């Protein structure tokens, strides 16, 4: 990895770029993953590279939903593996559930490399190497699923994806949690809970919310979900971006 000084004003963003680059070099992230990261970076810049209050509320709701679920599932793709492999393992451990590798640009070699990486980081159980069914209505490899994992789950976390699997999972009657920096994406609009934040900040926050909320009775978790409004969260994210841009414009241009 390139040695990036912590004093660099864009330190976090440069480290994330390096991680995706290393993922591509080691063969577990797709080259398209670099473009996806660039798109994410652009939205993160518009947010001011911080966790906005509506993302905090969404993260809390996501934690409540995962704790209420009978069979929650966590999906991992090549970008997620590059950016937060260790943190996803910690989230799975907090929920005592497996991780499932699911790829759009699927190759068996990439699936194995990601599963090996997750095991190396301490994952107890990794699904996805031997899919035995598929999500109806999808014409590509992302449809592949495992019984006992995503296929049978009632709540699925799908970070950094395009929208069609989100729609297909919702059509199966599942509740879907998205992590996506683009509040206008189809995934963000179709998901039950959309966390508009950088996955690097989200996953540790989500794990800490799961730990905090796990002591609450189900009725309290249900109340968190009843109060949650995904459309409002997305509207607030767009507003935060507009306000941040206006502030930047005032500071830098005027």
Binding site for ligand PTJ (CB under 6 A): 30, 32-33, 36-37, 39-40, 43, 77-79, 83, 103-105, 160-162, 179-182, 185, 198-199
Instruction: Give least dist CB 110 to ligand PTJ, A.
Output: 7
Q: What is the radius of gyration, based on Cα positions, of the chain?
A: 18
The DSSP bridge partners found for residue 156 are 73, 176
Q: How many CB atoms lie within 10 A of CB 201?
A: 19
Using CB atoms, what's the residue nearest to ligand PTJ?
Answer: 40
Instruction: Give least dist CB 167 to ligand PTJ, A.
Output: 13
Instruction: Give least dist CB 77 to ligand PTJ, A.
Output: 3
Taking the least distance from each CB to ligand PTJ, the nearer of 180 and 224 is: 180
The candidate with the shortest Cα–Cα distance to 180, out of 15, 43, 71, is: 43
Taking the least distance from each CB to ligand PTJ, the nearer of 39 and 124 is: 39
Taking the least distance from each CB to ligand PTJ, the nearer of 110 and 221 is: 110
Taking the least distance from each CB to ligand PTJ, the nearer of 61 and 179 is: 179
Instruction: Give least dist CB 92 to ligand PTJ, A.
Output: 18
Q: What is the largest CA-CA distance in the chain?
A: 59
Instruction: Give least dist CB 235 to ligand PTJ, A.
Output: 17
Q: What is the Cα–Cα distance from 128 to 73, expressed in whole angstroms?
A: 12
DSSP annotation of 74 reads E
Between CA 44 and CA 49, with CA 47 as vertex, the angle to 5 degrees is 55
Q: What is the Cα–Cα distance from 89 to 32, expressed in whole angstroms?
A: 24
Taking the least distance from each CB to ligand PTJ, the nearer of 72 and 183 is: 183
The candidate with the shortest Cα–Cα distance to 47, out of 8, 12, 75, is: 12
């Amino acid at each position: 990895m390139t040695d990036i000084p912590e004093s660099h004003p864009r330190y976090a963003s440069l480290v994330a770029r390096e991680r995706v680059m290393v993922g591509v070099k080691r063969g577990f992230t797709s080259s398209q993953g670099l473009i996806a990261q660039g798109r994410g970076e652009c939205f993160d810049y518009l947010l001011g590279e911080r966790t906005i209050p509506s993302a905090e509320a969404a993260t809390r709701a996501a934690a409540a939903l995962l704790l209420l679920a009978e069979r929650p599932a966590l999906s991992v793709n090549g970008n997620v593996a590059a950016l937060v492999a260790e943190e996803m393992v910690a989230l799975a451990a907090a929920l005592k559930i497996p991780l499932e590798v699911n790829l759009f640009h699927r190759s068996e070699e990439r699936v194995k490399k990601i599963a090996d990486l997750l095991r190396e980081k301490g994952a107890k159980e990794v699904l996805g190497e031997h899919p035995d069914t598929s999500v109806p209505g999808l014409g590509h490899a992302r449809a592949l699923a495992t019984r006992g994992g995503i296929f049978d789950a009632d709540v699925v976390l799908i970070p950094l994806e395009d929208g069609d699997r989100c729609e297909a999972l919702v059509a199966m009657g599942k509740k879907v949690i998205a992590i996506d920096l683009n509040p206008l994406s189809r995934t963000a609009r179709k998901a039950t809970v959309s966390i508009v934040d950088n996955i690097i900040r989200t996953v540790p926050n989500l794990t800490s919310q799961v730990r905090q909320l796990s002591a609450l009775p189900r009725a309290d978790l249900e109340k968190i979900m009843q109060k949650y409004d995904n459309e409002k969260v997305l509207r607030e994210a767009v507003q935060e971006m507009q306000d941040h841009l206006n502030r930047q414009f005032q500071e830098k241009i005027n």
